[in-house]
């Protein structure tokens, strides 16, 4: 069996956690009990082919680069107050492999199987070929209503992707939904349709109410 293709992983942990009232990255994961930032880093590191881990976070947060974050490379936003688009731009600029797997720190229920799907692990020969013969496009989950999940997606590290993201950032067009719609039309991203069983995987933690256990 051939070795998995190498990819770069970007963990987005730069949010201000205003609605949560405390740093979401340090909340305990509901299953492992580890701080979310460590749990998500370990998840990304566990995937075959993960060649490097990039951490998008302000340097002043002082996250301990230990455990699964021991060899993480901190990437900081070149443009302040531009949200996750700036983190994506920094990750694409820093990545040294052909693919960047992006995961937000506040999506605690994402599974290795889902991330493998985003990396085309289950693709059959020939499916990964771009219509123009270029490198395979990235994949972004898309709901039935057309909305993407841009913070749990695999992006190609290419001239096209870097230029599109940098251009949107320069224009301060910060909508990742708009970016992914344009990227899908341009061919360097493709949507991954979600089944109803996938939906709980994208539950994210924004407020203290999100931390409450499900009603029995």
pLDDT tens digits, 17-28: 667 767 888 899
**How many domains does the chain contain in total?**
1
Pairing assessment for the beta strands 7-12 and 99-104 based on DSSP bridges: parallel
Name the DSSP class of 186.
H
**pTM of this prediction?**
0.90
13 Cβ neighbours under 8 A, 6+ residues apart: 25, 37, 55, 56, 57, 61, 63, 105
Mean pLDDT of the chain: 88
- Closest C-alpha to 86, from 102, 68, 62, 109: 102
Domain that holds residue 175: 7-211
Please check whether residue 1 lies inside any domain of the structure.
no
d(CA 148, CA 189): 11
Please check whether residue 2 lies inside any domain of the structure.
no
Q: What was the pLDDT predicted at 23?
A: 84
Provide the CATH number for the domain around residue 61.
3.90.550.10
Please check whether residue 139 lies inside any domain of the structure.
yes
pLDDT tens digits, 72-82: 999 998 888 89
pLDDT tens digits, 53-94: 999 998 888 888 889 999 999 999 888 889 999 999 999 999
- Closest C-alpha to 199, from 84, 101, 109: 109
Please check whether residue 11 lies inside any domain of the structure.
yes
Please check whether residue 126 lies inside any domain of the structure.
yes
Region of poorest pLDDT, from 160-174, 177-191, 192-206 = 192-206
Please check whether residue 216 lies inside any domain of the structure.
no
- C-alpha separations of 15 from 85, 91, 147, 205, 211 in Å: 12, 15, 21, 12, 17
Vertex 104: Cα angle to 103 and 110 (nearest 5): 65
d(CA 36, CA 40): 6
d(CA 9, CA 80): 22
Residue with tokens 């493998």: 116
């Amino acid at each position: 069996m051939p070795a998995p293709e190498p990819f770069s992983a970007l963990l987005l942990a730069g949010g201000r956690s205003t609605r949560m009232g405390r740093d979401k990255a340090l909340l305990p994961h509901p299953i492992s009990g580890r701080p979310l930032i460590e749990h998500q880093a370990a998840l990304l590191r566990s995937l075959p082919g993960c060649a490097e881990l990039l951490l998008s976070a302000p340097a002043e947060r002082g996250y301990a680069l230990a455990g699964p974050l021991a060899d993480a490379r901190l990437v900081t936003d070149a443009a302040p107050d531009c949200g996750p688009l700036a983190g994506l731009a920094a990750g694409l600029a820093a990545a040294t492999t052909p693919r960047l797997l992006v995961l937000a720190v506040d999506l605690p229920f994402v599974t290795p199987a889902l991330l493998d799907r985003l990396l085309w692990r289950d693709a059959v020969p020939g499916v990964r070929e771009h219509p123009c013969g270029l490198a395979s496009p990235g994949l972004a989950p898309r709901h039935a209503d057309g909305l993407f999940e841009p913070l749990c997606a695999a992006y190609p590290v290419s001239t096209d992707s870097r230029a599109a993201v940098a251009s949107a950032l320069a224009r301060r067009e910060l909508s990742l939904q708009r970016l992914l719609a344009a990227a899908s039309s341009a061919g360097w991203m493709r949507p991954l349709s979600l089944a109803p069983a996938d939906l709980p995987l994208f539950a994210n933690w924004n407020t203290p109410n999100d931390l409450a256990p499900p009603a029995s």
